[in-house]
Amino acid sequence: MALTPLSEALERILATVESQPDWEMVALEAAPNRCCAEAINATLSVPPADNSAMDGYAVASQDVPGTLVISQRVPAGQAPLPLVAGTTARIFTGAEIPAGADAVILQENAELGEGQVTLPAAQPGQHIRRRGSDIQPGDTLVGAGHRLTPQDIGLLASVGLDAVPVFRPLNVAVLTTGDELREPGSGDLHPGQIFNSNRFSLAAQIRALGMTVIDCGNLPDDPDQIGDALERAAAEADCIVTAGGVSVGEEDHVKSQIEQRGALDLWKLAIKPGKPLAFGHVAGTPIFGLPGNPVSAFITFALVAKPWLIKRQGGHPLPVQRFPVKAAFALTRPGTREEFLRVRLTGSGEALRAALTGSQSSGVLTSLSEADGLAVIAPGTTVAEGDWVEVMPLWAL
């Protein structure tokens, strides 16, 4: 089977999403990181009335400069009286502007006397936040499929909402395979063993999407046990994500079990790291078979599985942002696959550089943990120090 370019694989995989999860109303406190099930529009103005942007004095601009009697005091949260002609109102930040006033003069520009104040000239509208200057009735606050951020939560609260319609979180089964894997905390390693990192990093990536993890544990390299576990996962999950067992070794059984108990739609990507990725379904449930090497598993999840999960969740997967940075490394041998190198950003401004974090082996997690981003190198490309390369920041993955 020929290697599939990443862009083609994404197009094919995303095209398989034909449904969205059910939705539910949740309290605003429980809504962060959830996907909105419908667009939310404002029904009121924010701010609801003209208010002061500063502590100072509300005036009719035609009455200044001059010395004016202070006719009222207007703190935030208190409805003002109409401004008596030829007077001023002591006003505080956020307080509603009295009718008859059209400007606010800063308190530091005033000379306070006994019951009166001397004020400089003012321009109409100065230091006033106009009604609806932030939000107008009918404005779309968040669109359908938008993943709610903490700042979105504040925006929705500002129009009085205490609950929002969101899609139900997907249930994603995570399963790793390998006789050599031991669970952290289970004791010392024996010869030939390593600790299972994929189970934890994949679960963390899934939970970061606001989805629910079904932990299926680690399976030995036994085809029947793996196949049975895949069928059990398919019965309760919206999607299955595995790590290991999709290459061409004699003990790689995940790929063959997908084919025996479902169908394989895609295998092998033209990327490095991460070539042996499998996508298909088991008993009708979509499955991503990721490589066993931990860096490969992390990157293929971020580049391939994550966009599918976001779309299946009802969201809108967007291309990962890239920005140009000068290389602080050289790549003298062109590769045949699109390559993603772990880099650390050094310097700033025009001196910003992307330096390799160390070994680029797909089993070296330190180089991923120390990285700020991935430098994307096209097939057949060499890089000299100082060349421009595109970098995908890890925070965007």
pLDDT, one tens digit per residue, over 167-191 is 999 999 999 999 999 999 988 999 9
Residue 290 and residue 206: Cα distance in Å, rounded? 14
Flag whether 185 is in a domain: yes
Where a domain ends, among 129, 158, 177?
Answer: 129
Residue 241 and residue 176: Cα distance in Å, rounded? 9
254/382 same-domain check: no
Q: What is the pLDDT of residue 39?
A: 97
3-class secondary-structure state, position 42: coil
Flag whether 145 is in a domain: yes
Q: Does position 225 have pLDDT exceeding 80, yes or no?
A: yes
Look at the alpha carbons of 264, 265, 267, 272 in this order and tell me if their dihedral is positive or negative: negative
Give the number of other Cβ atoms within 10 Å of residue 130's Cβ: 13
What Cα–Cα distance (Å) separates residue 271 from each residue in 246, 264, 313, 362?
15, 19, 26, 12
Q: Which residues, in sequence order, are CB contacts of 112 under 8 Å at separation 6+?
A: none
296/391 same-domain check: no
DSSP bridge pairs for 238: none
Flag whether 173 is in a domain: yes
Question: With bands split at pLDDT 50, 70 and 90, how would you rate the model's confidence at 221?
Answer: very high
pLDDT in tens, 14-68: 999 988 899 999 999 999 999 999 999 999 999 999 999 999 999 999 999 999 9
Kindly report the CATH number assigned to the domain that includes residue 273: 3.40.980.10
What is the pLDDT of the chain when averaged over all its residues? 95
CA-wise closest residue to 289 among 313, 317, 268: 268
Flag whether 317 is in a domain: no
Phi-psi region of 360 (alpha: psi -120 to 50; beta: other; left: phi over 0): alpha
Flag whether 85 is in a domain: yes
Alpha-carbon radius of gyration of the chain: 30
Please tell me which residue, 251 or 279, carries the higher pLDDT value.
279
159/106 same-domain check: no
Q: Which two tokens stand for residue 260?
A: 């025996």
246/176 same-domain check: yes
205/268 same-domain check: yes
What mean pLDDT do residues 341-362 have? 95
- Percentage, residues of the chain above pLDDT 70: 99
Q: Does position 1 have pLDDT exceeding 80, yes or no?
A: no
Domain count, the chain: 4
What mean pLDDT do residues 294-309 have? 97
111/234 same-domain check: no
173/307 same-domain check: yes
Q: Does position 249 have pLDDT exceeding 80, yes or no?
A: no
Q: Does position 251 have pLDDT exceeding 80, yes or no?
A: no
111/67 same-domain check: yes
- Contact assessment for residue 317 and residue 306, using Cβ atoms and an 8 Å cutoff: yes
Flag whether 139 is in a domain: yes
